[in-house]
């Protein structure tokens, strides 16, 4: 049985003691740190898609996008821009992919919300996911309606 132990040392700081990224933020596990500002931390991914592949994380533990409180959103976007530009400059990249996996079905391996910044070079051979067609325009519109309804 997995027991998730939580420590809330102050109102401002929630740490999941089982979480590898919480340990990296706390400096308990070494990382190639590149950004540490306000509520946001960034470091190089240990297994990069391309060299310079960075992970940008909120310092507090939230599992997915859906747990992130709105006030961290602005800080995260600003950090993504700052770190993304720096990654491109340092690697000489001509492009940058921003990605986020939410839940196991989408490939999320680490249960601490994080954004991937992947520097891209022309002809680097990486391909994005394959795309498909809807069965019909009606099929597409029906799904759009269902999503609008879910938004409320
Ligand atoms: P996810 O699949 O959850 O979106 O991505 C998790 C990422 O974390 C992976 O790309 C993986 O290489 C990276 N990662 C996992 N453990 C560590 C670690 O201990 N240190 C660093 N720097 N990256 C890690
Ligand atoms: Zn965590």
pLDDT at 2 (0 to 100): 37
Mean pLDDT (the chain) is 91
What is the number of structural domains in the chain? Answer: 1
Q: Hey, is 73 helix, strand or coil?
A: helix
Task: Give the residue numbers spanning the domain of 30.
Answer: 6-151
Which tokens sit at 71? Answer: 């006030």
* Whether the predicted pLDDT of 1 surpasses 90: no
Cα of 116 vs centre of ligand 1, distance in Å, is 9
pLDDT at 8 (0 to 100): 41
Question: Does 66 fall in a domain?
Answer: yes
List pLDDT tens digits, range 20-60.
999 999 999 999 999 999 999 999 999 999 999 999 999 99
Q: Among candidates 30, 37, 16, which has minimal Cα distance to 110?
A: 16
Atom in ligand 1 nearest the alpha carbon of residue 110:
3
Residue in the structure block whose two tokens are 């992919």: 97
Length of the chain: 152
Q: How far apart are CA 111 and CA 48, in angstroms?
A: 18
List pLDDT tens digits, range 96-149.
999 999 999 999 999 999 999 999 999 999 988 899 999 999 999 999 999 999
| Catalytic residue ranges | 114
Question: Does 59 fall in a domain?
Answer: yes
* Whether the predicted pLDDT of 75 surpasses 70: yes
Ligand 1 site, residue 115, Cβ cutoff 6 A: no
Of the ligands numbered here, which is closest to the C-alpha atom of 34? 1
This model's pTM is above 0.95: no
Question: Does 89 fall in a domain?
Answer: yes
CATH number at residue 117: 3.30.428.10
Q: How far apart are CA 50 and CA 5, in angstroms?
A: 34
Question: Does 1 fall in a domain?
Answer: no
């Amino acid at each position: 049985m997995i027991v998730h132990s939580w420590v809330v040392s102050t109102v401002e700081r929630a740490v999941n003691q089982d979480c590898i990224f919480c340990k990296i933020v706390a400096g308990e596990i070494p990382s190639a740190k590149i950004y540490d500002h306000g509520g946001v931390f960034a470091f190089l991914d240990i297994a990069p898609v391309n060299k310079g592949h960075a992970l940008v994380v909120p310092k507090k533990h939230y599992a997915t996008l859906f747990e992130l409180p709105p006030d961290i959103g602005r800080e995260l976007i600003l950090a993504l821009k700052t770190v993304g530009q720096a990654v491109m400059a340092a690697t000489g990249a001509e492009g940058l992919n921003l990605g986020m996996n939410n839940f196991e079905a989408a490939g999320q391996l680490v249960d601490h919300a994080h954004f991937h910044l992947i520097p891209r070079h022309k002809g680097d051979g990486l391909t994005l996911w394959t795309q498909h067609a809807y069965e019909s325009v009606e099929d597409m519109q029906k799904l759009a309606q269902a999503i609008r309804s879910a938004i409320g």
